[in-house]
């Protein structure tokens, strides 16, 4: 009885965790702008979680630098399944202008499967809202698949 209630409530409240893997901070401030009252992603239930262990959606920004690679892998391991990984901006997808640098180990899909990518440098907050909405839908799908097993 309670399980259904919990499932319904968790579907409407996906928590995000944000990892900065060597980003220039452009995408990060756009993500923070999304959570402010102007673009208010919190009306869809998104909430910035303080720890990866509480998160459902992981938002990664920045090309994966060699300093942040270890931390990124360790953080992603702590996120419970089912999880959705969203890449924010061009950097995690392809390293953007930093590709070929000695200190960049990306792109992100070397280390994990990227479910949804939001393009733009930096993406417009509306695009991030759309990406997060798609991520929430995908998360719901993944949960249903996990429940059937």
Considering the complex, state which of residue 7 and residue 109 has its C-beta at the smaller distance from another protein.
Answer: 109
Q: Which of 29, 73, 119, 147 binds another protein (CB under 8 A)?
A: 119
Under the binding rule (CB under 8 A), the answer on residue 110 touching another protein is no
Considering the complex, state which of residue 52 and residue 125 has its C-beta at the smaller distance from another protein.
Answer: 125
Compute the distance between CA of residue 67 and CA of residue 137 in angstroms, rounded to an integer: 33
Could you tell me how many residues make up the chain? Answer: 149
Compute the distance between CA of residue 111 and CA of residue 40 in angstroms, rounded to an integer: 31
105 neighbors 75 (Cβ within 8 angstroms): no
Rounded to the nearest whole angstrom, what is the least distance from the CB of residue 74 to another protein in the complex?
26
Residue 13 DSSP label = -
Binding site for another protein (CB under 8 A): 37-40, 43, 90, 93-97, 99, 115-121, 123-124, 126-127, 129-131, 133-134, 138
């Amino acid at each position: 009885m309670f399980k259904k209630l919990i499932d319904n409530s968790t579907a409407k409240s996906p928590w995000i965790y944000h990892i900065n893997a060597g980003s220039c901070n452009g995408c990060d401030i756009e993500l923070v702008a999304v959570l402010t009252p102007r673009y208010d992603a919190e009306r869809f239930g998104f909430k910035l979680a303080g720890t990866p262990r509480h998160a459902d959606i992981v938002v990664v920004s920045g090309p994966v630098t060699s300093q942040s690679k270890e931390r990124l892998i360790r953080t992603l391991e702590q996120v419970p399944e089912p999880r959705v990984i969203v890449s924010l901006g061009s950097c995690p997808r392809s390293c953007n202008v930093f590709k070929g640098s000695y200190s960049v180990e990306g792109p992100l899909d070397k280390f994990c499967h990227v479910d949804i990518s939001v393009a733009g440098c930096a993406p417009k907050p509306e695009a991030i809202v759309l990406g997060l909405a798609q991520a929430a839908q995908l998360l719901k799908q993944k949960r249903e698949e996990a429940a059937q097993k």
